[in-house]
Structure 1
Amino acid sequence: MLTTRAPAKINLTLHVLGRRQDGYHELESLVAFSGAGDTLSLTPDETLSLDVAGPTASAAGAGADNLVLRAAQRLAEDVKGLRLGRFRLEKRLPVAAGIGGGSSDAAAALRLLARANGLAADDPRLTAVARAVGSDVPVCLDPRARMMRGAGESLGAPIRLPLLPSVLINPGVPVATAPVFAALGLQPGASRKGAGHCDIDARPGAEELLAALRKGRNDLEDAACLQAPVIVDALAILRAARGCRLARMSGSGATCFAVFATRRDAVRAARVIRAQHPEWWVNTAVLR
């Protein structure tokens, strides 16, 4: 059995530059990853199957639309004689939450299949399949902090971030991505002025990074808050927590994150939020 983690993807920033003629939105996003995530295992076999367990298994589903199966089937089309197998997904991340849970699962499936079949990690067929399966899958193939541009197909070099003690919270409300982007009202070919992202060094210091993050934003935050007003509450709670240095929504929501001065501050804030909102998903993490 082969096993790998499928970590949560966190958009520290998310700038929408415009909308391309093909309908996709042009993005610039500094992406980091959390220690929190799902776990995917593969037992090589002649047939392909998926078993999903864990706290959020029912929302993820194990049918043909699960991105793990879609990624495996697509890779089998491109790599003749690919050995498949039985996947088991331990699903812990919330679904439709803006943290790339399904995309990270799909990327994990591609990594496991590559190991089982002796494919190099940089095999171009893996990248091609990742792009075909979903816009967030390519950045999750090698889950390290980096800039993501375009519709997710253009990836910068890895960035060595300082450790960022954080709290992730999801209020339990799924947010559909398409309506959030649609609320921006951008027609194909349209661009947004002043939407560019500041430069990020390959190895920024903590204060330097926080200053850059404060200059950034998530352009989907307002639209997502209209769709799920509880996001406003989640952000307010994080910003009011002692030691919070930055709070923002990730992706198209509804998961929000806060960066804290110390791990102790993050742990204390998470404990208080869990006590106040036991129905929410609350996780302490170190983003990297």
Structure 2
Amino acid sequence: MKLVTKAKHESEDAIRQSTANESFLAQLSFYDPDASPEQDRKNIQHFFRTKFPGLPNLEFANGVYAMSKVIRENWVAIEEFPPYSPAIEEGDEEWDTIFANNKSYRDCFGGAAIGNRYPRWDAKAEKVETLEMAINTCRTTHGEKPLKYGKSKMLGLTAFIAFQSRGMMTNVVIPDDPKALAAYQSGKKFYFSRRGQLNLACYHCHFENAGKRVRANVLGPMLGQTSHWPAYRSKWGSMGSIHRRYKGCNKQVRAKPFTFQSEEYRNLQFFHTYMSNGIPMNGPGARF
């Protein structure tokens, strides 16, 4: 009986949270479930240009480092000997690897400056494909084992590709396909939905409170947030992907995180990155 009672209570809690979420979403002036991706992008970029009127659009690629002179000086000092350099070197070496069938990553991608167009909609598979997934598809197509997500080889490759893509404008394409648009809308709803014991959405930190401090940290704006991954974070003492950051955010609000490359995080990244179309790539990054 205790198990039945517990399940009933958990079900009721889920319904209450879902109802509260719908009420919260309805209050947001720029959350429109019927808006097109381009309408969303224009509205959200206008919001941030209005919130930070003195900040040039291209500077959003630098996140919090564009908002504080002291923080920027610290960042510039770190960039003298960037902690992500070993990852780039490892990725450069891996990029030149010849597979057992005498093919390489070049046979799949051509050049390495491709980071600005991921994630993308895979029409054949009918799902969002991240750069990490594309790398593993390349490997398995040519008879190689897939790399583990979140591990050094994959992070090295994505760091190298990010470095080769620096300065290119984010250019994620969302086709006029019902399933692609549904994935986009799913990611958008994730971003603006409250979750966890703290009942917070991504929105609360990176829209309402962007530029403000939480303890010693300055909260970065959503615009440009996807431009610098993968990144070396001092807190981690290592490189990490944007999905690692999503997992960390979920944990911080005491919500259960999803797995690397889960549908939830891929759809979130699809929406999140599209909002920064027109912002230059600036990865890999160094963050505190």
TM range (shorter): under 0.3
Q: Name the one with the larger helix percent.
A: 2
Larger radius of gyration between Structure 1 and Structure 2:
2
- TM score, norm. by length of structure 2: 0.22
- TM score, norm. by length of structure 1: 0.22
